[in-house]
Structure 1
Amino acid sequence: MSETRWVVLGRVVGQHGLRGELKLFSYTAPPERIFDYRVWRLKAADGREIELKRINGRVQGKALIVSLPGVLDRDAALAWMDAEVSVARAALPPLAQGEFYWADLEGLEVVTLEGVSLGKVSHLLSTGANDVMVVRDAERERLLPFVPGQWVQQVDLAAGRIVVDWDPAF
């Protein structure tokens, strides 16, 4: 595989029909936007990876259905269950100032206003009210609301750091 940085935008969640079609769960908004990306990387649960350049997909009711080259029956489709669908980070549209893709925040160090390190962003969760950063260090895991201006004071992607107004004892 190339040195391209990939961002997970979906997951194979089932099979559809007898001809090897797959059902997708998309993290894009709206979900069918995942079909706008012409190059995908599919990573199976067993570690196999393929890069796809021609994606044939459609919306069928509430489901997203995709056909993969060489996947022609239900047995072949089963081999891709739970596979992650990724696209190149460079293919994502630019964001407005102050907006961030979750993939860009993952791995950043989180420090308090006083410079105390709380750990690194493992991943983020959506709670409906606001997004939450899961911050881990060697000793513990913290859930910090990602609310710019209130808890999140600065995001410096170049420095790999997020500054938060947070009590390290909490």
Structure 2
Amino acid sequence: MFGRFLDKFCKGLRILLGVLMGALAVPVAMQVVSRYTGLIPTFLWTEELATFLFIWIVMIGSVVAVWDGTHFDVRITRDAKGPFARLVQDGVVHVAIMVFGALFLFYGIEYAEFGGKQRSVMMRANLMITHISVPIAGGLWLLLSGYRLFETFTAFRSREGTPS
């Protein structure tokens, strides 16, 4: 049941990613048109807005990638053949993501507070808008990878009980 909730949550994040990608096209198009045609004046805030949107796209995309199992991992050994070796191999990846998630969450809170004391140059927006994405992503990596680790362990336990 919790897995279904997380799956629906990540589907919502995918929709949000699509909206943000569409929104990113607007300031980037304005930058291109103003730079190469001179039809509209150069707006410096468009670059800041594009950066803010891009940061959120990357952080939300990384959360979806952790859920989908498409977040990159480096294999230093061959793919495991047996169930226990597979558990260890996948478990190490999930635990590593959880460690980095915990680090992003822990240090990201201080980073977000630091951003809350600053304003962007052109738009005068509070920089917590982007800085808060770090602890949010870290917390979600921790949660989603923890759930995937639980699933991996549960699958191992169910295979262990069945005769080969």
TM-score, length basis structure 1? 0.24
Larger fraction in strand: 1
Q: Relative contact order (C-alpha < 8 Å, sep 6+): which is higher?
A: 2
Larger Rg over CA atoms: 2
Larger fraction in helix: 2
TM-score, length basis structure 2? 0.25
